[in-house]
Amino acid sequence: MSTRSVLIVEHNNDLRDLLTYLFEKESFKVYATKTAKKGYKNAKKKKPSYINLGNLKKLERQIHFCGKVRGKEKVSHTPIFMLTTDPYFEKNELPRKVRANAFIITP
């Protein structure tokens, strides 16, 4: 049986811990990191089944992270689920720039 894995990239310690707990509860192997730079290194090294890209301090970091992942052949196919606090995010041009598979609006 193939092990499902997820890479969580989230700067907020409490949210990162909560997401780790929830994914582990569902039998995912979890790789969690605080920064986009470390997240990208883990994505290349661990090749997770999914990437959960949290609310990084700047949207530009999320866009840059997604672009780097999409440009790396070994992980370019990995689904990226991006968290955002912007309720209008999906209605503007940014989703096409970000190239994530899904967006989750958070409070």
Give the separation between CA 56 and CA 71, rounded to whole angstroms. 20
Tell me what pLDDT residue 28 has.
97
Q: What is the pTM of this model?
A: 0.88
- With 0-12 / 13-18 / 19 or more C-beta atoms within 10 angstroms meaning exposed / middle / buried, residue 89 is middle
pLDDT at 102: 82
* C-alpha distance across the termini of the chain, in Å: 36
Q: Report the range of poorest mean pLDDT among 8-22, 51-65, 69-83.
A: 51-65
Helix, coil or strand: residue 8: strand
Residues near 102 by Cβ (< 8 Å), separated by ≥ 6? 79, 80, 81, 82
Question: What per-residue confidence (pLDDT) applies to 96?
Answer: 67
